[in-house]
Amino acid sequence: SDSSPPPMPWFGMDIGGTLTKLVYFEPKDLSEAEEASEVESVKSIRKYLKSSSAYGETGHRDIHLQMDNLIIGKRKGTLHFIRFPTSEMNPFLALAKSKGLATMASTICATGGGAYKFEEDFKREVNLSLHKFDELDSLIRGIEYIEDNNVDKECYYFVNSRDQDNCQKCTYDFSNPYPYLIVNIGSGVSILSVYGPNNYKRVSGTSLGGGTFLGLCCLLTSCQTFEEAIELAAKGNNHEVDKLVKDIYGGDYDRFGLGGDVVASSFGHMNSKEKRSKVSKEDLACATLTTITNNIGSIARMVAANEKIEKVVFVGNFLRVNQISMRMLSHAMDYWSNGQLKAIFLEHEGYFGAVGCLLELLK
Ligand code: ADP
């Protein structure tokens, strides 16, 4: 647009069912005059955000995702990526207030269900009106913007996804994207078909998502965090928990091309008291991760076949620090489609909704 950009600070926020994602644009091209005339509180917010990568008890800045020399709203600067649990919204608002956010007449663009749920709290605690945007519009805008602007290559895929020693992460050229499927694995899962710019629909979804994995894993293993759940899963073996084709057939089910190592029944061994007594936390975590991941993979495949789309882009924070699931999805897409489908992943996995929101602010 040709109107002047909104006053700083520039934020975009995605308040999800589990995590709140915040992106912050730090201008690096301020003239001396601009710097001098800058409001004190804007300066102090910038200093605070940059001073550390941990905020309060549970806030984190993902420094490895930071993007430098980005042009947004005709300004050059750095984009920062910050997250905290949505359950910590009240302490977050208190922190924001203590840093002077309430004294700025700024606008925050927000998306995700929390933009509705916490609207009153933002107004009351920090005197901010949220400008609300749709989360799926924001997600796609964010993906397309970051993919176009990340000089360090945003998209990748795996080769030899099943082979621990030879598995490789490779850059994927997404310059010609349409049509593609987005599988957004957050607390729940949404699947979108994107046919062209501003042309998409939400085709499917499932409530068995990242929240289900973490919830079940906490129940079954008494783990406390997502990171811990993933670490347990990495050390476990789902074959102690799941019933495989070979447990039923004694080998492969050749007639329909099912290998003996394919899971026939997720958690199918756990009806046996003896097997239950031998199973470890690690095995249970691994089986939970496998069950949830393969179910999502299988829904994604059916949708892709229905839509006649070959590129499947997986995003959402379920994939954070979770190469296990990415590799399982890569293998599942490849194997069950005879190489027709391609699983694609993005470096900024869970932040696209927040980025899309920031772009709305500057439109
Ligand atoms: P939402 O918008 O629904 O909050 P996200 O894309 O942020 O969705 O993904 C949330 C999911 O990411 C969780 O259900 C969990 O599986 C996973 N996750 C990754 N990192 C964390 C974390 N630090 N805390 C909680 N969940 C996490």
**Tens-place pLDDT, residues 336-349:** 999 999 999 999 99
Which protein residue has the closest C-alpha to ligand 1 atom 23? Answer: 226
112: left (phi over 0), alpha (psi -120 to 50) or beta: left
Which protein residue has the closest C-alpha to ligand 1 atom 2? Answer: 16
- Complex ipTM, two decimals? 0.99
Please identify which of the residues 34, 88, 125, 135 carries the catalytic annotation: 135
pLDDT at 2 over 80: no
The pTM assigned to this predicted structure is 0.96
Give me ligand 1 centre to Cα 56, in Å.
19
pLDDT at 35: 86
343 lines ligand 1 (CB under 6 A): no
- Cβ-count burial 147-180 (b if 16+ within 10 Å, e if not): beebeeebbbbbeebeeeeebeeeebebeebeeb
pLDDT at 40: 84
Mean model confidence pLDDT for the chain: 95
Tell me the per-residue pLDDT of 97-130, one tens digit each, with 9 for 90 and over: 988 887 776 789 999 999 999 999 999 999 999 9
pLDDT at 37: 85
CA angle 27, 31, 35 (to 5 degrees): 75
pLDDT at 3 over 80: no
212 lines ligand 1 (CB under 6 A): no
217 lines ligand 1 (CB under 6 A): no
Residue of 218, 318, 348, 357 with the most ligand 1 atoms within 8 Å of its CB, for mutation: 318
317 lines ligand 1 (CB under 6 A): yes
Tell me the per-residue pLDDT of 278-313, one tens digit each, with 9 for 90 and over: 999 999 999 999 999 999 999 999 999 999 999 999
Distance between CA atoms of 356 and 363, rounded to whole angstroms? 11
Residue 81, beta-bridge partner list: 23
Looking at ligand 1, which atom is closest to the CA of residue 350?
A: 6
351 lines ligand 1 (CB under 6 A): no
350 lines ligand 1 (CB under 6 A): yes
Told to judge if 135 belongs to the known catalytic residues of this protein, a careful annotator would answer yes
Tell me the per-residue pLDDT of 14-41, one tens digit each, with 9 for 90 and over: 999 999 999 999 999 999 988 888 888 8
Share of the chain above pLDDT 70, in %: 99
